[in-house]
Structure 1
């Protein structure tokens, strides 16, 4: 459980951390969309340039933040991250709705997908078909699970990159926070 702040108290805390190279706030969580009203009202009062990092499973709340968020970093979770296919489908459908919301709002965003050496290619093909039906202009970042020793063969990673790269700008970026032992 985190500490609760008034808008003014939160701004004071941000100001204490401010450095000359400050560019923007990164709003992350837990899941920040659970607090979309607070975030919206705070950024209306203190209009910082802001990036939202989200699982994008709450499209209505995401829509609520459109006028105060400069860019969204959203995840697409894969079926391998869930206990059941039904659980994944519910999350995935909300992620797709969030992409639709951002497209309609002309929101700047990019998508991250954490993949493993065993991520099925047919799942990536399905996801890319669904995303392509909504937008062909979004950047997609592939994050291979850590540690990289799991990737003794890189064929699957390169195949995933090739599939995504057919229609989208794609980058492969390791999970740096795991290399640095940062939670």
Structure 2
């Protein structure tokens, strides 16, 4: 088999700060490149595909980085993961950017390691999702709302999102994350909620307030109630890693 290569921004050990696995120790592999342009993006450097170097942590949580030249081989990534894996680590988090842009690389990575794979995805590349759904243990799937301005064609994006979520749901564990902006309303949230319920109302859905804006409790409860009319498991969980100053 030919060795795969991919542009990677960074590899490090930290604590998951988002979603239903917040608080879990993971090794993060942050891929370069993204196919969307969300207004609230907090990983802008990871949007770029042409990144000369990947920074790699040596000691878990110590931020003692060195660099490797991009693109990295599968062997480069596996050896970095092995060095950072420790007794409390539970998953390799594949994040970005958008990791589904590197689905061929991820498939080969999965074939070369037995570590559980946790995918953080914008859920807009159903073809790539189909290629790797059988090797992903947990898929943390974003659903973009129209006010996120992620794409110039929201209807098409939403359709691709539902196809992507369905593929991961058919193959393993999945939960949904929806970013809540100050301008998010029950009307803008409802189509996403109903679409998830049509797949399975038991899929956990996390409403994540955007970190740079505080939302009042009554409004968050109103949005939770809207989702709770259709879904069994709805939670509001902020970005915990920013509260704890984690990577």
Given the two structures, how large is their TM-score scaled by the length of structure 2? 0.67
Q: 1:137 aligns with which of 182, 196, 202?
A: 202
Residue 126 of structure 1: aligned partner: 191
Q: Which moved more, 1:24-33 or 1:91-100?
A: 91-100
| 1:30 and 2:106 are equivalent in the alignment | no
Secondary structure in structure 1 of the residue aligned to 2:141: strand
Equivalent of 1:101 in 167, 175, 179: 167
Q: Which has the higher strand share?
A: 2
Q: What is the rounded CA distance, in whole Å, between the counterparts of 2:166 and 2:87 in structure 1?
A: 36
1:165 alignment partner in structure 2: 228
SS in 1 for 2:133: coil
Change in Cα spacing, 1:146 to 1:7, as seen in structure 2 (3 Å) is closer
Aligned CA RMSD, in angstroms, stands at 1.9
- Structure 1 outlier segments of 4+, above 4 Å: 180-183
What's the offset of the Cα at 1:97? 0.9
Structure 2: tracts of 5 or more residues without a match = 1-50, 55-69
Q: Per-residue deviation at 1:142?
A: 0.8
After the TM superposition, which of the residue ranges 154-163 and 136-145 deviates more from structure 2? 154-163
Post-superposition CA distance 1:118-149 (Å, at most 9, x none): 2121121222222222221200011011245x
Alignment TM-score, normalising by the size of structure 1: 0.88
Identify which of structures 1 and 2 has the higher relative contact order when contacts are C-alpha pairs closer than 8 Å and 6+ apart: 2
